Amino acid sequence: CSAAEEKDLVIIGGGVAGYVAAIKAGQEGLKVACIEKRGALGGTCLNVGCIPSKSLLNNSHLYHQIMHDSKNRGIEVGDVKLNLQAMMKAKETSVTGLTKGIEYLFKKNGVEYIKGTGSFASEHEVRVKLTDGGETSVVGKNILIATGSEATPFPGLEIDEKRVITSTGALSLDKVPEKMIVIGGGIIGLEMGSVWSRLGSQVTVVEFLNQIGGPGMDTEIATQAQKLLKKQGVDFKLGTKVVSGDASGEKVKLEVDAAKGGKAETLEADVVLVAIGRRPYTAGLGLENIGLEVDERGRVVIDSEYRTKASHIRCIGDVTFGPMLAHKAEEEAVAAVEFIKKGYGHVNYGVIPSVMYTHPEVAWVGQNEQDLKKDNIPYKIGTFPFSANSRAKTNLDTDGMVKMLADPETDRLLGCHIIGPNAGEMIAEATLALEYGASTEDIARTCHAHPTLAEAFKEAAMATYSKAIHF
Interface residue list for ligand NAI (CB under 6 A):
183-189, 191, 206-209, 214, 241-242, 275-278, 323-325, 355-357
CA angle 423/426/430 to nearest 5° reads 115
Given the complex with ligand FAD, which of 14 and 360 has the nearer CB atom?
A: 14
Rounded to the nearest whole angstrom, what is the least distance from the CB of residue 220 to ligand FAD in the complex? 23
9, 136, 140, 263 from 4: Cα distances, Å:
14, 10, 10, 62
Cβ proximity to ligand NAI: between 26 and 186 the closer is 186
CB 431 to ligand NAI: min, Å: 14
Question: Which of ligand NAI, ligand FAD, none binds 208 (CB below 5-8 Å, type-dependent)?
Answer: ligand NAI
245 binds, among ligand FAD, ligand NAI, none (CB under 5 to 8 A by kind): none
Question: 6-12 and 135-145: which strand pairing?
Answer: parallel
Q: State how far the Cα of 87 lies from the Cα of 90, in Å rounded to an integer.
A: 5
Sorted by sequence, the CB contacts under 8 Å of residue 289 that are 6+ apart come out as 119, 120, 121, 122
DSSP secondary structure letters along 384-404: EEGGG-HHHHHTT----EEEE
Instruction: Decide if 61 is catalytic.
Output: no
Q: Least separation, in Å, of the C-beta of 207 and ligand NAI?
A: 5
Angle at CA 386, nearest 5°, toward 383 and 390?
Answer: 125
Q: Is 71 helix (H, G, I), strand (E, B) or coil?
A: helix
Extract the runs of DSSP E, i.e. beta strands, from 233-360: 235-237, 240-246, 252-258, 265-269, 271-274, 278-280, 313-315, 354-356
Rama region for 255: left / alpha / beta (φ>0; ψ in -120 to 50; rest): beta
DSSP letters spanning 83-115: -HHHHHHHHHHHHHHHHHHHHHHHHHTT-EEEE
- Of 207 and 399, which CB lies nearer to ligand NAI in the complex structure? 207
Distance between CA atoms of 142 and 154, rounded to whole angstroms?
A: 37
* Catalytic, out of 124, 327, 346, 450: 450
State the nearest-atom distance from the C-beta of 153 to ligand NAI, in Å.
Answer: 11
> Residue 278 or residue 359: which is nearer to ligand NAI going by CB?
278
**Binding site partner of 209, from ligand FAD, ligand NAI, none, Cβ cut-off 5-8 A by kind:** ligand NAI
Q: Which does 411 bind (CB under 5 to 8 A by kind): ligand NAI, ligand FAD, none?
A: none
- Residue 317: which of ligand FAD, ligand NAI, none does it interact with, CB under 5 to 8 A by kind? ligand FAD
Q: Name the binder of 391 from ligand FAD, ligand NAI, none, CB < 5-8 A by kind.
A: none
In the complex, least distance from residue 154 CB atom to ligand FAD, rounded to whole angstroms: 15
Nearer to ligand FAD, 359 or 458 (CB): 359
E-strand stretches of 407-467: 413-420
Which DSSP letter does residue 275 get?
-
The CB-of-325 to ligand NAI minimum distance in angstroms stands at: 5
Q: Which does 207 bind (CB under 5 to 8 A by kind): ligand NAI, ligand FAD, none?
A: ligand NAI
Least distance to ligand FAD, CB of residue 118, Å? 4
Q: 172: burial class by Cβ within 10 Å (0-12, 13-18, 19+)?
A: middle
| Nearer to ligand FAD among residue 117 and residue 224 (C-beta) | 117
Contact 252, 268 (CB under 8 A): yes
Give the total residue count for the chain: 471
Q: Residues interacting with ligand FAD, by CB under 6 A?
A: 12-18, 35-38, 43-45, 49-50, 53, 117-119, 146-149, 167, 188, 281, 284-285, 317-318, 324-327, 329
Whose Cβ is closer to ligand FAD: residue 167's or residue 398's? 167
Catalytic residue IDs: 450
